[in-house]
Chain A
């Protein structure tokens, strides 16, 4: 190997090694989450009677601007059998705020009538039911001995955007 080529190779290798630590810095753009789904107390079991619901903000920041984001709105539902469920309150179709209907035991969207099964969070009627992804993102719930309900993480993608028309 010529001396010149060797020097070139060394410079190249050094450059590559020098740049390497900057590559993971691309994560700066990807993790733009202005918040993380931390464990947060929502309510107590006694706050909400069976077959009823509660709209809550998660994660709550205390900033009015941030907390008004529809993507932070969730629906805590106590089913008639006493079971607790919590879903994202944003309809999968056009991002309206959905609501629980105690008389029908399902979740309805006021905008285009998408209707979700309250037990599973799967849409069975309206535009959302015609999508490929028709399951509402669900909040992982934890209930401690005092009956306090905590939210701890979300399964699914909020604001995926509608599919089809």
Chain B
């Protein structure tokens, strides 16, 4: 066993696994996804050095193999498990909720009304831009933002309310939510 290589290959794989986990599954920040490409390189580099580290000067004993097993188990748990234990499927309720929002500077429908839907509802939000600059709409956590639209244009986004709780609907253009373009979007449990 080559000690230096043994330590470094484990560290490389561990860094790579953490990076991959952050980029794929972490909800802490959207921007972590940029880490993915680098993490793959780290893991490949680690896997490339691992056999050499283990096999040099004889087959490894059980004590030497246990950190390797530990790192690999961490990897399987962090990266593999979320694939099988994804969020539970929500059956659609069959209702379609149509909402129209009119964007101006800096509010939706002047007052940012609170929107309430039930779990499993299909929501269609039509945004009409009556402002003087570009706007957009996003229900944070329930779907991607709509494309940016110019004054006078409109756009419709559609998604299914798959999670219960209180969310924000905002104009995702940086700065706009801060100036007031945000309201509450509440998903309640199904009544019937």
Contacts and interface: CB of A to CB of B under 8 A. Distances in A.
Q: State if A and B touch, Cβ cutoff 8 Å.
A: yes
A109 B156 CA distance: 26
A80 interface: no
Nearest to A109: B175
B134 A110 contact: yes
Which applies to chain B's interface (DSSP): helix, strand, loop or mixed?
loop
B178 interface: yes
A44 to B, nearest CB: 27
Contacts of B173: 111
A113 interface: yes
Interface residues of A, number: 7
Please classify how large the interface on chain B is, using the bins under 10, 10 to 19, 20 to 34, 35 or more. under 10
A113 B178 contact: yes
B159 interface: no
Which applies to chain A's interface (DSSP): helix, strand, loop or mixed?
loop
Contacts of B174: 111-112
Contacts of A112: 174-175
Interface string A113-139: 100000000000011000000000000
Interface in B132-174: 132-134, 173-174
B73 to A, nearest CB: 39
B176 interface: yes
Interface string B101-145: 000000000000000000000000000000011100000000000
Interface of B: 132-134, 173-176, 178-179
Interface of A: 101, 110-113, 126-127
Nearest 10 Cβ contacts at the A-B interface: A112-B175, A113-B175, A110-B133, A112-B174, A113-B179, A126-B175, A110-B134, A111-B174, A113-B176, A111-B175
